[in-house]
Amino acid sequence: MSEPPRGIQPGNGVDEYLFDPRLLERIVDIKDGIWVRPLSIEDYDKGFIQVLGQLTKVGDMSKEQFSERFRKMKASGDYYVIVAEDKNVGEVIASATLLTEQKFIHNCALRGRLEDVVVNDKYRGKSLGQLMVRTVSLLAQRLRCYKLSLDCKDTIVKFYERLGFIKEPANGNHLNARFDYESPTSNL
């Protein structure tokens, strides 16, 4: 048996986590009672949904819905949701998601996508957003992503630029088509 990685307490089975916690080894340590770890299936009861609710509409998600999505993400193997937990109170206080998009191009490369970065309002000003983004960035490199992409509002561009992201010349546009849920009919 090898030593348990730093930050992972013996007795906590790794089965509960979305991905192997050892992937965060030597990236983040516990500091001021705050540790960064993979999302756990137990986090529904630890305030994860409430934190996401500070980012956007989450909806009235049951524990069963959460668990089902968690399992689907885990089965896919492309989802790396990380959370910061305040061990003093046992609550999730921040989250960020790395999606590793499988490509055929660039020798079957992985492209990282940074999604859904959020920090509990009460914990603002502690650079936790920065910690989450840097953790995802290092994790993306560890997983050998050739780049890490994100889409964001004008107001947050400078924050990401300080963390090494670049709006590339003539190639920095993000567009959306939004749908209602009616069945589509062909209009080709």
Residues 48-77 contacting a copy of itself, CB under 8 A: 48-49, 52, 55-61, 65-66, 68-69, 72-73, 76-77
* Size of the residue set binding a copy of itself (CB under 8 A): 83
Q: How far apart are CA 106 and CA 96, in angstroms?
A: 26
Q: Quote the distance between the C-alpha of residue 1 and its chain's center.
A: 29
Q: Which residues of 50-81 are buried (b: 16+ CB within 10 A; e: fewer)?
A: ebbeeeeeeeeeeeeebeeebeebbeeebbbb
Of 1-9, 10-18, 84-92, 112-120: span binding a copy of itself (CB under 8 A) = 112-120
Residues 76-95 contacting a copy of itself, CB under 8 A: 76-79, 81
For a copy of itself, which is the closer residue by CB, 14 or 150?
Answer: 150
Helix or strand run (H / E) with residue 112: strand 110-119
Q: Which of 101, 122, 124, 162 touches a copy of itself by CB under 8 A?
A: 101
For a copy of itself, which is the closer residue by CB, 9 or 171?
Answer: 171
DSSP sequence for 19-76: S-GGGGTTT---BTTEEEEE-BGGGGGGTHHHHHTTTS------HHHHHHHHHHHHHH
Per CB under 8 A, 107 contacts a copy of itself: yes
Residues 120-179 contacting a copy of itself, CB under 8 A: 131, 134-135, 137-138, 140-142, 144-155, 157, 160-161, 163-168, 170-179
